[in-house]
Amino acid sequence: MVDKVIDEMKFQSVDITKRKTLQLFETMNVRFGVMLVGPTGGGKTTIYKILAECFKKLRQQESEDERFQEVKYKILNPKAITMGELYGEINLETQDWMDGLASKILRKFAQNATSRRSWCIFDGPVDALWVENMNSVLDDNMMLSLMNGERIKLHLNIRILFEVMDLAVASPATVSRCGMVYLSPQDLPWRPIFQTWMSTYIIANELLNEKQQKYLTDLFDAYLDQTFEKL
């Protein structure tokens, strides 16, 4: 059913989009944590947004499959903040516990008793400095343990996604706990990127008329492939 919804969305590179989105869907069905591995601009963000939109459309169509529920996701960059800001820490002056960004998001997801799906997306390098605390979450017990002794029990409607460029600094303990979806530069040719730029920038801002848009497209079609061959 997911593949039919993707076809209805009419993406420029529908075969690649469908294949990778279905890979993500199948991996999320069997793993609590999933890593999307690929370079910047490779389509990692696009495929999970497509999958979330597919779930929404299928729920609106009142699908009998209970896996298809509306998705709420939160994105954070774990390398942009300190460990205390990520998981929480004790204020040394007041001795009060201050919640971290990840612990606050996951606690809110855990308190959500509805059937809606919740995804926590870590967009940044996976290394031992911060991800080791997630190992207990990625295990079968799905439990986040905090420094203040609190334990947050997550439920099956929650998923942990990691957007990473590579696994060079990821520990084997974390990698073995996650499902993998790889996106390579060869999977995404230049035409979908060009057509997205045309629709979101050129056409949306009415910078060129239809004749000029066609002329620009013809120039790209005529010369860009030849240019790449000579690089």
The residue assigned the tokens 């239809």 is 210
Is residue 10 scored above 70 in pLDDT? no
pLDDT level of residue 163 (50, 70, 90 thresholds): very high
Are 87 and 134 in contact by the 8 Å Cβ rule? The answer is: no
At residue 13, the pLDDT reads 45
Compute the radius of gyration of the chain from its Cα atoms: 21
Q: Is 171 exposed, middle or buried (0-12, 13-18, 19+ CB in 10 A)?
A: middle
| 2-185 maps to CATH 3.40.50.300 | yes
Amino acid symbol at 22: L
At residue 149, the pLDDT reads 86
Tens of pLDDT along 128-151? 888 888 888 998 888 998 888 889
Tens of pLDDT along 22-62? 999 999 999 999 999 998 878 899 899 989 999 998 888 88
Q: Where is 153: in which H helix or E strand?
A: strand 151-153
Tokens of 4: 């039919």
Distance CA 81, CA 115 (A): 31
Report which of residues 6 and 224 the model is more confident about: 224
Distance CA 98, CA 58 (A): 39
Is residue 117 scored above 50 in pLDDT? yes
Report which of residues 93 and 180 the model is more confident about: 180
Residues 6+ apart with CB under 8 A from 224: 190, 194
Q: Where is 21: in which H helix or E strand?
A: helix 14-30
Share of the chain above pLDDT 70, in %: 91
Long-range contacts, 51-55 (Cβ 8 Å, 24+): 51/2, 51/21, 51/24, 51/25, 52/119, 53/5, 53/9, 54/2, 54/5, 54/6, 54/21, 54/25, 55/117
Longest dimension (CA), the chain: 67
Domain borders along the chain are 2-185, 190-230
Q: Can you give the pTM of this predicted structure?
A: 0.81
